[in-house]
Amino acid sequence: MNEELEERLYREGITLADIKKRVVAMFIDEFLLSFILIVALWDSFANATSTEEIINLTNSFVFEYMLMKIVYQAFFVMQYGATIGKIAMKIRVIEIATLQNPNVLVALNRAIFRVISEMFFYLGFVWGILNPSKQTWHDLTAKTLVVNA
């Protein structure tokens, strides 16, 4: 992280969110979205007669699930600066330029690249662990930071 940004964050009393908080927030969000998908497809799951049918059914809704994740992430980050998981962990997403909640384009960019990062074995998340400013790939492309609320 550059010194100018560090200075701005310090002046505003903003601290970067801990990786552990971010991981727990991610698991809360994933659990919530998976639960919603299961509820939406409950009739289909109930009619499945084998594990193979359940797997095939789940695989047939991968695109819809990814779209649901993008809409969820973009809406909550744009509207509240945080998803439900982040709210529970008392962390939020801010734009580096404004130190405010991301606008719609930034939130959408972040949400799309978050899903792409997940598709590449979560390497973008590992990048965030190694990055001094704790920015994942989706934070880097959207020019955002995850900070304590």
Cα–Cα nearest to 89, from 30, 13, 32, 148 = 148
> Residue 72's closest CA among 108, 99, 105, 101?
108
What is the reported pLDDT for 89? 98
Domain ranges of the chain: 3-148
**Per-residue confidence (pLDDT) for residue 1, from 0 to 100:** 75
Q: Is the dihedral of CA 4, 149, 72, 116 positive or negative?
A: positive
Query: What is residue 45's predicted lDDT score, i.e. its pLDDT?
Result: 87
Cut 0.85: pTM above it: yes
In a 10 Å sphere around its CB, with 0-12 CB exposed, 13-18 middle and 19+ buried, how is residue 31 labelled?
Answer: exposed
Which residues are paired to 53 by β-bridges?
A: none
**Helix H or strand E segment including 23:** helix 19-40
- The dihedral sign for the CA sequence 7, 8, 12, 18: negative
At 112, which helix (H) or strand (E)? Answer: helix 104-119
Q: Are 44 and 1 in contact (CB under 8 A)?
A: no
149 residues of the chain, pLDDT tens digit each: 789 999 999 999 999 999 999 999 999 999 999 999 989 989 988 998 899 998 998 899 999 999 999 999 999 999 999 999 999 999 999 999 999 999 999 999 999 999 999 999 999 999 999 999 999 999 999 999 999 99
